[in-house]
Amino acid sequence: MLSSKYQVKGVPTMILFKNGKQLWRQSGVVDKNSIVSIIKSHF
């Protein structure tokens, strides 16, 4: 199960990957502006 593979213990959990490598992860609520900022800074 993917939740076990990535050690997801809480919902929601957001994990961003690039080329198969985990770049960022956050458990709990993240507001839209923060998500957009994080994506722009990593991609």
Distance CA 13, CA 11 (A): 5
Segments making up each domain of the chain, as ranges: 2-42
- HEC letters along the chain: CHHHHCCCCCCCEEEEEECCEEEEEEECCCCHHHHHHHHHHHC
pLDDT at 34: 95
pLDDT at 43: 80
pLDDT in tens, 2-31: 899 999 998 999 999 999 999 999 999 999
pLDDT of 35 over the 90 cut: yes
Tokens 């080329």 found at: 19
Peptide bond into 12 cis (omega under 30): yes
pLDDT at 23: 93
pTM: 0.77
